[in-house]
Chains A and B, each alone.
Chain A
Amino acid sequence: MKEKEGFVDCPDQQMILYVEKDDGKYGPIQTGSYLTANYLDDFFLKKKNLESALRDQLIRGSISVVKYFMVLEDLTLSELAARAAIRKSRVKKHLDPSGFAEVTAAELSRYAGVFNVPLANLLQVVLIKNKEQFESAMILENRTDHLEVIQDQTENPYVVLTKISERT
């Protein structure tokens, strides 16, 4: 690939591409991600639709919150079990709402650690009104115009402070 063909204007995701320079030597240039520059909206659309579909199932009681996050974060049952250090058969139980009723606080804490979410969010879904509809705060990532949600872990591992404020 020639140097001039390799440049993509995408400051949000920079990368190194090896190209043929004008003198015929191959070497690195700093450029941007073609996919991020052109298709990031499509990624967020799919993510939003997936979250919305999973949330519907969660609200209807057909899946547990463990399944909700496992699918959102593209983890398999085996991988989640290994990461949370919980037996695979037990994780399998926790994917179903009836089995989830048996989860312990310690196990919840481990799941929250793997999913990198506040423990409280394994028992609630935080939605924000955005353009006349409620959307997941996690998917919006605080990109709404007027509201901001900040969740802080406290020194008590089982208590999370959720702060909702108007954006200034």
Chain B
Amino acid sequence: MTELDFKHKMAAHCESGTITSLLNFGGLDITEPLVFGISGGIFFGYFHKMKSFAFPTFIVRNKPGQMRVDIEKRLGVKFKTYAFKDPASGMTALDDLIDRKIPTACQVDFFYLDYVPSWERVHINVHFMVVVGRQGTRYLISDAYFPKMVELEATSLQKGRFAGGEMSPKGFLYHLDRIPTEIDMKKAVERGIRKACFNMLKIPIPFLGIRGMRMFSRKILEWPAIARDTEHLSHEIMKINILLEDQGTGGAGFRYIYATFLQQASEILNKSELRDLSAELMLIGDGWREISLFAARIGKNRDLGAEKLKQLGDMIRDRADVEENFFRKLSKTV
């Protein structure tokens, strides 16, 4: 098997984990929380009606693919990117990069990855992983969600890379091109914080940022009317737990990883107030964790009456209030 000297490491999130591992492979000593924070990854968005989602949903991070773009802008690193119309050319290009011993990140639909347990598989076109070896029709994959490297058949990899639909991967690949000799980490951290504060507080769209949390807290009361039946509603309510905890967030919808970023940022910028804010965000995250557990419990017990959903909505609104206050304070530090 063509295999690269690539150190596999689990990460909280596939995109920040993939970027971190490629940068580490290239010799840059950087942590996943710093990658996440510098890219301004923390976010919130509620989508009540979208043609690509079968049920209302929410996100707790910025747009998929944006982390790489923002890391390039703020650190000055360069990634080389490729997209393909033809699957055969896309697979040949990947083989060529692996044969040249270049660890290469792929964007795929999670659903087609055979090594993922069935209960985790969903059609989502924005999973990232690093291909680090191949032999015949099998590829060696460093997937940040798994403790060890995994193998994947070429047919499954091709299906995942060339799935159609919303945010279709189009065979997208990227690898590290160069790391500058000098990086202004202070400036990068400050720009990342400013971007996160802007996204959470100032985007004038009612379903994004803090406004999005408040919309979520109101609209969740409409979920019973949209669900097919009680079991469907239970499934969707329990998905709140998945989106906040299991779907690669580092816990509490990325609030814990962002708190870790702020703690590291306080040392880089030598600002003690960031250390205090990181502790505050850890506590805010505990509140999100309570929401996750509450959603799992009422979903499992089918205890989904109006009273319980109102309670859930109130818990979400409370997070909006504390996060609005938090991000206002954070915006004054940089």
**Interface residue ranges, A against B (CB under 8 Å):** 1, 6, 12-20, 25-28, 30, 33-36, 38-40, 42-44, 46, 49-50, 73-76, 78-80, 82-85, 113-114, 116, 141
Contact = CB atoms under 8 A, between A and B. Distances in A.
A30 B263 CA distance: 20
Given A1-B282, A26-B282, A34-B296, A14 B123 contact: no
A29 to B, nearest CB: 10
Contact of A34 (B33, B245, B299): B245
A78 B250 CA distance: 32
Contacts of B248: 15
Contacts of B241: 34-35
A20 B164 contact: no
A79 B52 contact: yes
Given A17-B12, A20-B282, A39 B296 contact: yes
B285 interface: yes
A19 B289 CA distance: 12
Interface stretch (B70-78, B90-98, B190-198, B253-261): B253-261
A132 to B, nearest CB: 23
B164 A84 contact: yes
A44 B245 CA distance: 19
A2 B267 CA distance: 21
Given A16-B11, A26-B278, A82-B166, A74 B123 contact: yes
Given A16-B11, A28-B32, 5 more contacts: A18-B256, A28-B10, A30-B10, A73-B111, A85-B164
A74 B55 CA distance: 9
B330 interface: no
A1 B285 contact: yes
A75 B246 contact: no
Interface in B95-122: 111-112, 117-120, 122
Interface of B: 10-12, 32-33, 51-55, 111-112, 117-120, 122-123, 144-147, 159, 163-166, 168, 231-232, 234-235, 238, 241-242, 245-246, 248, 250-252, 256-257, 259-260, 263, 278, 282, 285-286, 289, 292-293, 296, 299-300
A44 B257 CA distance: 31
B87 to A, nearest CB: 11
A27 B259 CA distance: 10
A38 B235 CA distance: 14
B256 A19 contact: yes
Contact of A83 (B163, B238, B242, B263): B163
B250 A33 contact: no
A16 B250 contact: yes
A16 B12 contact: yes
B263 A79 contact: no
B257 A18 contact: yes
6 contacts: A1-B285, A1-B289, A26-B263, A28-B11, A28-B32, A38-B296
Nearest to B246: A33
Contact of B10 (A16, A20, A33): A16
Contact of B164 (A16, A76, A82): A82
A28 B250 contact: yes
A13 B145 CA distance: 9
Given A1-B256, A76-B54, A79-B165, A18 B251 contact: yes
A77 B164 CA distance: 13
A49 B12 contact: no
A84 B165 CA distance: 8
Given A35-B241, A116-B112, A15 B145 contact: yes
A71 B118 CA distance: 16
A116 B187 CA distance: 46
A25 B282 CA distance: 12
A18 B259 CA distance: 9
Closest 6 CB pairs of A and B: A18-B256, A26-B260, A78-B51, A83-B164, A83-B165, A16-B12
Given A30-B147, A46-B234, A79-B51, A18 B286 contact: no
